[in-house]
Amino acid sequence: MPELRKDPVIGRWVIIATERGKRPSDFGKEEEPHVGGICPFCSGHENTTPPEILAYRETGTEPNTPGWRVRVVSNKFPALRVEGDLTRTGEGIYDKMTGVGAHEVVIETPDHTKTLADLEVKQVAEVLSACCERIDDLRKDPRIQYVLVFKNHGKRAGASLDHTHTQLIATPIVPNLVREEMHGSQSYFEYKERCIFCDIIRQELGDTRRLVADNDEFIAIEPYAARFPFETWILPKKHRTAYEKVRTEGIELLAEILRETLRRINVALARPPYNIVFHTGPLATPELEFFHWHLEIMPRLTHVAGFERGSGFYINPTPPEEAAAFLRAVEVD
Amino acid sequence: MPELRKDPVIGRWVIIATERGKRPSDFGKEEEPHVGGICPFCSGHENTTPPEILAYRETGTEPNTPGWRVRVVSNKFPALRVEGDLTRTGEGIYDKMTGVGAHEVVIETPDHTKTLADLEVKQVAEVLSACCERIDDLRKDPRIQYVLVFKNHGKRAGASLDHTHTQLIATPIVPNLVREEMHGSQSYFEYKERCIFCDIIRQELGDTRRLVADNDEFIAIEPYAARFPFETWILPKKHRTAYEKVRTEGIELLAEILRETLRRINVALARPPYNIVFHTGPLATPELEFFHWHLEIMPRLTHVAGFERGSGFYINPTPPEEAAAFLRAVEVD
- CB–CB contact A22 B229 (8 Å): yes
Residue A154, burial from CB neighbour count under 10 angstroms (0-12, 13-18, 19+): middle
- CB–CB contact A316 B156 (8 Å): no
Q: Are strands A13-16 and B314-316 parallel, antiparallel or unpaired?
A: parallel
> What pLDDT score was predicted for residue B290?
97
**Average pLDDT of span B79-97:** 93
- Alpha helices, H only, chain A: 121-138, 176-192, 196-207, 251-269, 306-311, 320-329
> What pLDDT score was predicted for residue A37?
76
Q: Round to whole Å and give the CA distance between A260 and A274.
A: 15
Q: Round to whole Å and give the CA distance between A235 and A214.
A: 10
A contacts of B156 (beta carbons < 8 Å)? 303
Complex-level ipTM: 0.92
> Domain A3-25+33-171: which CATH class?
alpha beta
Q: Round to whole Å and give the CA distance between A296 and B311.
A: 12
- Of the ranges A31-40, A52-61, B190-199, B200-209, which one carries the lowest mean pLDDT score? A31-40
Q: Round to whole Å and give the CA distance between B134 and B167.
A: 11
Percent of chain B with pLDDT over 90: 87
Per the CB < 8 A criterion, the answer to whether A262 and A297 are in contact is: yes
**Least CB-CB distance to B316: which of A15, A304, A311?**
A15
Q: Sort residue B177 into left (φ over 0), alpha (ψ -120 to 50) or beta.
A: alpha
**Average pLDDT of span B303-326:** 92
- CB–CB contact B16 A319 (8 Å): yes
B contacts of A197 (beta carbons < 8 Å)? 9
CATH 3.30.428.10 segments of chain A:
3-25+33-171, 176-329
- What's the gap in Å between the CA of A129 and the closest CA on chain B? 20
Per the CB < 8 A criterion, the answer to whether B279 and B294 are in contact is: yes
**Best of A164, A309, A327 to mutate (most B CBs within 10 Å, chain B):** A309
- CB–CB contact B24 A269 (8 Å): yes
Confidence of residue B27 (pLDDT cuts 50, 70, 90): confident
- DSSP codes of every residue in A175-195: -HHHHHHHHHHHHHHHHHSS-
Neighbours of B5 (CB within 10 A): 25
Segment A205-227, tens digit of pLDDT: 999 999 999 999 999 999 999 99
Per the CB < 8 A criterion, the answer to whether B42 and B161 are in contact is: no
Fold of B176-329: HIT family, subunit A (3.30.428)
Nearest chain A Cα to B295, which residue? A310
- What's the gap in Å between the CA of A60 and the closest CA on chain B? 36
Q: Per residue in A241-261, is it b (16+ CB within 10 Å) or e — as a string?
A: bbbbbbbeebbebbbbbbbbb
Nearest chain B Cα to A321, which residue? B18
Which residues lie closer than 8 Å to A322 by C-beta, 6 or more apart?
B21, B23
- Of the ranges A33-42, B124-133, B152-161, B309-318, which one carries the lowest mean pLDDT score? A33-42
Neighbours of B303 (CB within 10 A): 17
CATH 3.30.428.10 segments of chain B:
3-171, 176-329
> What pLDDT score was predicted for residue B17?
83
- CB–CB contact B313 A171 (8 Å): yes
**Average pLDDT of span B212-241:** 97
Q: Round to whole Å and give the CA distance between A303 and A300.
A: 8
> What pLDDT score was predicted for residue B125?
98
Residue B21 has pLDDT above 80, yes or no: no
> What pLDDT score was predicted for residue B162?
93
Q: Are strands A52-57 and A94-98 parallel, antiparallel or unpaired?
A: unpaired
Dihedral sign for Cα atoms in the order B284, B285, B291, B293:
positive
A contacts of B227 (beta carbons < 8 Å)? 12, 14
The CATH code belonging to domain B3-171 is 3.30.428.10
Q: Round to whole Å and give the CA distance between B308 and A175.
A: 10
- CB–CB contact A318 B17 (8 Å): yes
Q: Are strands A68-74 and A52-57 parallel, antiparallel or unpaired?
A: antiparallel
What pairs with residue A13 in β-bridges?
A6
B contacts of A79 (beta carbons < 8 Å)? 307, 315
Per the CB < 8 A criterion, the answer to whether A78 and A169 are in contact is: no
Mean pLDDT of chain B: 94
**Average pLDDT of span A237-259:** 97
Segment B119-176, tens digit of pLDDT: 999 999 999 999 999 999 999 999 999 999 999 999 989 998 999 999 999 999 999 9
Residue A129 has pLDDT above 80, yes or no: yes
Q: Round to whole Å and give the CA distance between A320 and A299.
A: 13
Segment A78-121, tens digit of pLDDT: 999 998 899 999 999 999 999 999 999 999 999 999 999 999 99
Per the CB < 8 A criterion, the answer to whether A223 and A210 are in contact is: yes
Q: Catalytic one among A153, A163, A165, A239?
A: A165
**Least CB-CB distance to A269: which of B27, B79, B312?**
B27
Angle at B121 between CA B119 and CA B127, to 5 degrees: 70
**Average pLDDT of span B320-331:** 96
Q: How far is CA A64 from the centre of its chain?
A: 25
- Give, as one character, the DSSP assignment of residue B62: P
> What pLDDT score was predicted for residue B304?
86
Percent of chain A with pLDDT over 90: 87
**Least CB-CB distance to A158: which of B5, B268, B305?**
B305
Residue A35 has pLDDT above 80, yes or no: no
**Best of A313, A321, A326 to mutate (most B CBs within 10 Å, chain B):** A313
Q: Compute CA distances A52 → A67, A156, B278, whole Å.
A: 13, 28, 47
Nearest to B167 by CA among B113, B109, B103: B103
- CB–CB contact B316 A14 (8 Å): yes
Neighbours of A332 (CB within 10 A): 16
What pairs with residue B22 in β-bridges?
none
Mean pLDDT of chain A: 94
Percent of chain B with pLDDT over 70: 96
Q: Which strands, in side-by-side order, build the sheet including B88-91?
A: A314-316, B13-16, B3-6, B94-98, B88-91
Residue A20 has pLDDT above 90, yes or no: no
**Least CB-CB distance to B14: which of A18, A167, A227?**
A227
- CB–CB contact A22 B296 (8 Å): no
Percent of chain A with pLDDT over 70: 96
Nearest chain B Cα to A327, which residue? B24
> What pLDDT score was predicted for residue A1?
82
- CB–CB contact A225 B272 (8 Å): no
Nearest chain B Cα to A302, which residue? B27
B contacts of A208 (beta carbons < 8 Å)? none
Q: Which amino acid is at B308?
A: E
